[in-house]
Amino acid sequence: MKSTTNIIIGLDHGAGAWKVFGPHGGIELPSSVATNGRTTLGKVAGLRSRKPPLCVETANGAFYVGREAHTWGRPQENLDDIRFAGSPEAVALMNGAFTLYAQHYGPLNGPLTVYVGVPQEAIIGDKAKAIPTAIKKWLTGAHTWRVDDQPYTIVIEKVLITSQPAGALFDYLLDESGRFIAARQHLYQEEVGVISVGMSTVELLVVQQAVPNQRFTLGKTAGVRRLLELLNPHGHYSRGEMDDLLRAGALPTLR
């Protein structure tokens, strides 16, 4: 029986990874996506074989998503603001992230209310209205896709936008049931600074008595992506391949 009460979902569709957190836990899917258009090499004597990454079939075609996606197909590295409006790559990553959630915790049988964390740079100045409107437009509604010939469907009824540093603040202040952690509750009425380092952003948020200090609310395009560029000066690897090396603890160092 489907639930008539909206299921609350936290969603971070970052340039480094998509994170989905729901009533039973959370998952993370690295934001690597590749078109699925190459022939798969069979077993070769002397070489090991690996299981292919998650392959998502959408209305836009088939895509590999997540770790090692760029070693199985043609890398697609769309890290600009167009992803907030539902680019084909973003759709594939969203489908892949909700697939992983369903595989870990079971299907989301009911309408969803989704809280979306975005970089502060995406909701400052001229972007403060345009990007949230674009996100709500493409996320709201029914989404259907296939993985391994199995159909998946979610229905998002409501989308609410917040900043990623604000999410980090409340992750520190609240427990898993959404209640204040007693030893930290007093900080909500004091001054707290948050520094958030993501794949493509470095952000600062200062909150004083539960109100953002606008002078110290900043976001810059930088982050881990810059480190990966410095360690890949000749562009021999895609950003996704460099991210895989970083996550595996095998990233080459500058000399």
pLDDT of residue 43 exceeding 70, the answer is: no
21 inside domain? yes
pLDDT of residue 35 exceeding 50, the answer is: yes
233 inside domain? yes
Confidence bin at 1 (pLDDT 50/70/90)? very low
Please state the domain count of the chain. 1
125 inside domain? yes
Q: Which of 31-35, 70-74, 119-123 has the lowest mean pLDDT?
A: 119-123
What would the pLDDT profile of 119-156 be if each residue is shown by its tens digit?
887 787 777 788 899 999 999 999 999 999 999 999 99
Q: How far apart are the first and last CA of the chain?
A: 60
254 inside domain? no
% of residues, the chain, pLDDT over 90: 59
Q: Domain range for residue 232?
A: 7-37+48-247
% of residues, the chain, pLDDT over 70: 92
Position 47 scores a pLDDT of 53
Confidence bin at 181 (pLDDT 50/70/90)? very high
Position 178 scores a pLDDT of 84
pTM of the model: 0.87
Confidence bin at 18 (pLDDT 50/70/90)? very high
2 inside domain? no
42 inside domain? no
Any idea what the CATH number is for the domain that residue 22 is in? 3.30.420.40
Rounded distance, CA 251 to CA 89, Å?
Answer: 25
Q: Share the mean pLDDT of the chain.
A: 88
Rounded distance, CA 234 to CA 173, Å?
Answer: 43
255 inside domain? no
